Amino acid sequence: MPNARSGFWGSALQLALPFVLVVYLGLKAGGYDIGIRSEVGIIVIWLALLGVAFGLLPVTRVTKVGWTGIGLLTALALFVGLGAITWTESTERSMIEFSRVLMLLGTFALVLLIQTRDGVERTVTGVAAGVTVIGIVALASRFEPDWFDVPALPMGFSVARLSYPLEYWNGLAALMAIGLAPLAWGAGAARDVLTRALSAAAIPLVLSVIYLSASRGGAIAAASGLLVLLVVVPGRIKVLIGLVVPGIATLIMFGFLNDRQELRDGDLGHIATTQGSEMIAITLVLVLAVALTQALISWAMERNGGVIPDASRDTTQIVGAVLGMLALVGIVVALGSGFVGDRWNEFKQPQVSGSTVQRFGNLNSGARYEVWKSAWNASREEPVTGIGPGTFEFWWARDGGDVQFMRDAHSLYLEFLAETGPVGFLLIMLVVFGSIALAAFRALAKGDPLRRAPVAAAAGGMTAFAVAAGVDWAWEMTVLPVAFFALAASTLGPAASSGEGRNTSRFEKSHWPWYARIGFCAIALLALVAIYIPYKGDRLVRDSQASYRAGDTEKALKQADDALDIQPYSATANLQKAQLLIQAGRYQPAIQAAQKAVREEPFNWQNWLVLSETFDAAGESKNSALALRRAHDLNPSSTFIEGLMSE
């Protein structure tokens, strides 16, 4: 009988939406670019708006915790938006961050509004499948690079570490880590044999991607997510058994990769090409063997009516107590022996030895310690409001010393603390860890294990994101928070709260009153406008740059002016205009445009540098020197600026 709960299209959408989002954003360099992110946000919010306007959404009643999740994320968006118009060092940068949060809010809301009785299971499966597709593409790009148009990495980036298609190794590994717990659930506790077989076959692929990325943070995130899954999932023995075959296959895969060091380390040449062709065949055979073995084991168990008993509560408590005591003893020994102190000193060293899998053997932070310390200093400098959303780059330039250029604080939580103060920090902590805690609580509650298990998988996937976001900037690759919020939305829906699978009113079709629909649509329209403004401004500046490269300076100037019409606060558009006017020999208007950029972002050293160049082109050497001095004050470690000052 076609209805909201069992309709084919509703069920397909719950699986397809997260799958399509993860695959599309993953193939688009993780959705890091503001253009890709904004376009996806606009589409997602339009879908939610039209669904609500025509009475198609929500499919079922939004639960109280679902509304709480929407409320927290909305509060976070509003607070970031408030920072963009008040205390920020750059309205342009802060508006970009505002649009980012709105895009994620729209994704979260849409996934939440389509949830039905089996929503958690389908959403978790969709995320796992999407991650698997990206993992397959990543491995194929290493084994057969000629199949792909792999873009050149920026100077200084290691080509040895697997990064395609996200174009950043830690981001790629973090995405794989998010998908590992859902795949582990699928391999051991999914309802049907096919899902178990496919999930098991995907695990060696996902783990091999993490291995080839040489991402220590990704490995830790994957282990953390898997640990949370095993702690909270019902039937953990069944899940553990389901991991045996893919675990063995993973070790075999690692062995084959290590036997082919040229391929493993990303070397170019005939040897690596031959090894890549070999690994394609080996991987196919291994994946098919895992899938077939897992399917046969699952089929035999079901045919014989085999039921794997779960550990009793008493047994679980005893094992947990023993492990806890062993961990405590290990901590005491580590502290007493000086091991922890030595490792901490190692972590504080900025340089990391090894460019590939050798990295797994050391704890050097790669400048993270210095960046985190700088973020903490920023929070102390502005303890109430923070320095402004999206402006850590300016702070680091004047505070970070001579380590290297940094745009982000390499930690979602410290960056929010530095940029938005304690209020923003509290909100992001509630959004991330509140979602994980609720999912874990629901997975541990009484009820049908088949319904609780995918909730545990979601908790594991979200934990992997939380860990990865705490130690790197990869969370700005949109695919990662999109996967997180898809999982979070599913665990806040009605399916996750119906542990016993009762046929309650929470699954009935929801009929919002007309005023609620109008209110939702009005808010959605405002969000669309807020996303469109920085998106369009960015597009116009890029179009202006393209027109200049094509030799059409007047068209480029027109496009820069159009960008300022839509974003009058844009320092980027003013800089573009200033540089175009210099090329046109119109020095006084160029000076005015550069001065506007300085007023919009007074702590951005690049604006002062362009102003200095503009004064120099106009023959105003004294003003040029003053502007250059200010640029140096805002970026004292820049050898480039020092070179200009010495001329």
Q: Encode pLDDT of 84-128 as tens digits.
A: 999 999 999 999 999 999 999 999 999 999 998 889 999 999 999
pLDDT classification of 596: cutoffs 50, 70, 90: very high
Q: How far apart are CA 292 and CA 295, in angstroms?
A: 5
| Sequence-separated (6 or more) residues with CB below 8 Å from residue 340 | 334
Query: Percentage of residues in the chain with pLDDT exceeding 90?
Result: 75
- On whether the CB atoms of residues 593 and 574 are closer than 8 A, the answer is yes
Question: 378 with 352: CB under 8 angstroms?
Answer: no
Instruction: Note whether 189 and 233 are within 8 A (CB).
Output: yes
Specify whether 423 is located in the same domain as 482. Answer: yes
Q: Binning pLDDT at 50, 70 and 90, where does residue 5 land?
A: very low
Task: Identify residue 485 by its one-letter amino acid code.
Answer: F
Q: Which CATH number fits the domain that encloses residue 588?
A: 1.25.40.10
Are 22 and 119 in a shared domain? yes
Closest alpha carbon to 189 in 320, 307, 15, 316: 307
Summarize pLDDT for 403-442 with one digit per residue, the tens: 677 889 999 999 999 999 999 999 999 999 999 999 999 9
Check whether residue 453 and residue 551 sit in a common domain.
Answer: no
Q: What are phi and psi of 311, to 5 degrees?
A: -65, 140
**In a shared domain, residues 56 and 19:** yes
Would you say residue 557 has pLDDT above 50? yes
Q: Is residue 350 part of a domain?
A: no
467 and 557 share a domain?
no
611-636 burial, b at 16+ Cβ within 10 Å, e below that, comes to bbbbbbbbebeebbeebbebbbebbb
Q: Does residue 424 sit within a domain?
A: yes
Which of 177-191, 227-241, 497-511 has the least mean pLDDT?
497-511
Q: Is the pLDDT of residue 372 over 70?
A: yes
**DSSP structure string for 524-569:** HHHHHHHHHHHHHHHHHHHHHHHHHHTT-HHHHHHHHHHHHHH-TT
Containing domain of residue 236, as a range? 8-338+405-511
Give the number of domains in the chain. 2
Domain boundary at 477, 511, 545, which? 511
Co-location of 501 and 557 in the same domain: no
Tokens of 506: 């929470």
Q: Is the pTM value of this prediction over 0.85?
A: yes
* Per-residue confidence (pLDDT) for residue 347, from 0 to 100: 60
Candidate from 33-37, 154-158, 506-510, 559-563 with smallest mean pLDDT? 506-510
Omega before 389 cis (within 30°)?
A: no
Q: Running DSSP on this structure, what letter comes out for residue 89?
A: S
Residue 362 in domain: no
Neighbours of 289 (CB within 10 A): 14
Among 121, 116, 245, smallest CA distance to 186 is for: 121
User: How many Cα atoms are found within 13 Å in the side-chain-facing hemisphere of 438?
Assistant: 20
Written as six digits, the tokens of 290 are: 């895992």
pLDDT score for 501: 46
pLDDT for the residue 150 = 80
Q: What is the pLDDT of residue 355?
A: 60
Q: How many CA atoms lie within 13 A of 353 on its CB side?
A: 7
> Tokens at residue 483, please?
């996967």
HEC states along 327-343?
A: HHHHHHHHHHHCHHHHH
Q: Is residue 395 part of a domain?
A: no
Domain assignment of residue 576, yes or no: yes
| Same domain membership, residue 598 and residue 474 | no
449 and 538, same structural domain?
no
The overall average pLDDT reported for the chain is 90
pLDDT at residue 308 in the model: 67
| The residue type at 83 | G
- Return the structure tokens found at 317: 């408590």
- DSSP code for 61: P
Picking from 82, 106, 103, 104, the residue whose alpha carbon sits closest to that of residue 94 is 82
Find, among 606, 601, 604, the residue nearest to 579 by Cα: 606
- State both tokens at 500: 């016993």
What are the structure tokens assigned to 274, written together? 């031959």
Quickly state the pLDDT bin for 160 (edges 50, 70, 90): confident
Q: Which amino acid is at 634?
A: L
Residues 23 and 147 in one domain: yes
Is 357 inside a domain boundary? Answer: no
d(CA 455, CA 428): 21
Whether residue 551 sits in one domain with residue 490: no
Neighbouring C-beta atoms of residue 561, cutoff 10 Å: 16
Instruction: Give the tokens for residue 33.
Output: 């670019």
Distance CA 384, CA 127 (A): 37
Residue 357 confidence class, pLDDT cut points 50, 70, 90? confident
Backbone CA torsion sign across 462, 464, 468, 474? negative
Q: What is the mean pLDDT of residues 264-279?
A: 89
Per-residue pLDDT band at 221 (split at 50, 70, 90): very high
Note whether 506 and 538 are same-domain residues: no
Model confidence over 459-514: pLDDT tens digits?
999 999 999 999 999 999 999 999 999 999 999 988 776 544 445 555 566 679 99
Residues 462, 415 within the same domain: yes
pLDDT for 196 beyond 80: yes
Instruction: Kindly provide the residue ranges of all beta strands, DSSP E only, lying in 137-250, ordered along the sequence.
Output: none
Residue 300: is its pLDDT beyond 50? yes
Say if 179 falls within a structural domain.
yes
- Displacement of CA 479 from its chain's centroid (Å): 5
Q: Is the peptide bond before 309 cis (omega within 30 degrees of 0)?
A: no
Poorest-pLDDT segment among 307-316, 479-488, 516-525: 307-316
Residue 31 has pLDDT above 70, yes or no: yes
Q: What is the reported pLDDT for 639?
A: 86
365 belongs to a structural domain: no
Lowest mean pLDDT among 127-141, 205-219, 483-497: 483-497
How far is residue 110's CA from residue 488's CA, in Å, rounded to a whole number?
A: 12
The owner of tokens 């783990």 is 207
Residue 431 is predicted with a pLDDT of 98
